[in-house]
Every structure is written in C-alpha cells, then in structure tokens.
C-alpha cells in the first residue's frame, strides 16, 4: 500500500489522529456481526424510505418534468465480492451523457487529466442544473435505500465503483469488497471529493478490515453534518 496516501492529505491525517480508523486490523467479520449489520440496514432503510417517500416523489417529478425522461438512473456498479448490480440514483445528467463526456475530454486536456486522476470532474458538462443541486445535497442517492433493502448495498461501506475502477484498487480490491458497498462510508465523512483517489482506496480498505456495528453507527451519525456542510460534494 506504499505510495497510496500522500503525507499532506489532511482528512486521512484527521482520521489517524482521532483514531476513527485502524492503522492495521486483522478483524474478520463474524456471522453475528454480519447479521447485526443486515438488521441495522433493513431497519434504518425501511424507516428512512417511509419518511422520505414524499420528497422522493417530488424530486422524481421535478426531474421528469425537466425533460420528460425517466427520473431514475440505473448504473452498473461493483458490489460485494465483485458482483455487479444496478445502483439506483435520481438522474442528474443529460441524455447521451457518455458521448457528451467523451467529446468534452477530447477537447479539454486539463479535464482529461482530472478525469484520469480522480474519475470525477468538478465542472462536469453532463450534469444538469437541477442535477447539481441533487448531487451537492446528496439527494440523488435516496433511491439507493432500495438497493440496501435488496441486499445489494449497505448503509455504510466502501464506495460502489464502476468496473473501470477495479484496477485502481490493485491487490486491495478483494479486501475492500469483502463487504457490501455503502451509501455512506469513511471517505464520504472525510472530505469526499477533496480526498485523493488513493486516500479513498485506503479509507475503503481500513473500513473493510475493521468494521463493526459501533463504527457503522458512528459513520451514520457523522454523515448528517457532512451532508449539511456539503464539503467536497459536487
């Protein structure tokens, strides 16, 4: 794992100082812990869906009215043990988004370098005006509560990545995805896009190697102020 984390990455340093993640852990998930995690996931996701369903309907209606297209976006992501699944989001991008992205990268070398480095763009030409609001507020991720109920995701876990990102995890991939990906996780509460890609990988690895229900609850409680601050979200 040498070279993954830059010494100046303040968010990783913050977690090391506060002891929120282990430097090294040999902890292995046990059946009781997995059952408890699943129980927490189903209970919280079901309650959350009941509470936010009216908001979800309003947001989906707003997206549908903007261009007459489906408000729900299904994207192939990699889950536990490398199994692919359809990750649900409220659509925040224009039609033919992949073609729009490719044309933009072809004509903007600095953006191509940013995409290669982070697999994200601060000024993403695919994102609509409403989509920017949804992304910055993380409201676009509300449909992932259905992924949690179906067992494809957890409330807390590593980031659900696309297949093209697997190679960036190297030998850490199998460990990182020995647990289901999460709606939130260590990287979401430690700066999100302000973390380097290498730090995201390391934070995912540290979570997967040392997760327990207490840490899941801690991360869930930390997610609320992180979403309100909107730091590192775009």
- Summarize pLDDT for 16-41 with one digit per residue, the tens: 444 444 434 444 555 668 889 999 99
**What is the structure's pLDDT at 30?**
57
**What is the structure's pLDDT at 56?**
97
Q: Is pLDDT larger for residue 93 or for residue 31? A: 93
> Could you report the per-residue pLDDT of 205-227, keeping only the tens digit for each?
999 998 989 999 999 999 988 88
**What is the structure's pLDDT at 148?**
98
Give the predicted TM-score (pTM) of the model: 0.80
Assign residue 170 a region (left: φ > 0; alpha: ψ between -120 and 50; beta: otherwise).
left
Helical residues (DSSP H) of 97-165, grouped into ranges: 97-107, 109-118, 129-136, 144-149
**What is the structure's pLDDT at 193?**
66
Residue 166 has pLDDT above 90, yes or no: yes
Query: What is the rounded distance in angstroms from the CA atom of residue 182 to the CA atom of residue 158?
Result: 6
Residue 5 has pLDDT above 60, yes or no: no
DSSP-assigned beta bridge partners for residue 78: 84, 161
**What is the structure's pLDDT at 197?**
84
């Amino acid at each position: 794992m040498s070279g993954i984390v830059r010494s100046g990455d303040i968010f990783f340093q913050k977690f090391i100082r506060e002891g929120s993640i282990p430097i090294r852990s040999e902890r292995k998930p046990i059946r009781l812990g997995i059952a408890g995690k699943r129980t927490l996931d189903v209970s919280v996701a079901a309650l959350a869906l009941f509470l936010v369903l009216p908001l979800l309907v309003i947001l989906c209606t707003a997206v549908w009215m903007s261009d007459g297209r489906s408000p729900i976006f299904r994207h192939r992501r990699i889950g536990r043990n490398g199994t692919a699944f359809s990750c649900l989001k409220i659509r925040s991008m224009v039609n033919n988004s992949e073609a729009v992205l490719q044309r933009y990268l072809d004509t903007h070398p600095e953006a191509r370098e940013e995409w290669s480095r982070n697999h994200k763009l601060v000024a993403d030409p695919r994102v609509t005006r409403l989509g920017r609001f949804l992304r910055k507020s993380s409201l676009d991720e509300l449909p992932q509560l259905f992924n949690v109920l179906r067992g494809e995701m957890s409330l807390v876990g590593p980031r659900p990545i696309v297949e093209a990102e697997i190679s960036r995890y190297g030998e850490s991939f199998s460990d990182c995805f020995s647990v289901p990906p999460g709606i939130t996780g260590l990287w979401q509460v430690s700066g999100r896009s302000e973390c380097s890609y290498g730090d995201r990988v390391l934070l995912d690895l540290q979570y997967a190697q040392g997760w327990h229900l207490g840490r899941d609850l801690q991360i869930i409680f930390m997610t609320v102020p992180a979403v309100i601050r909107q730091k590192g979200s775009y």
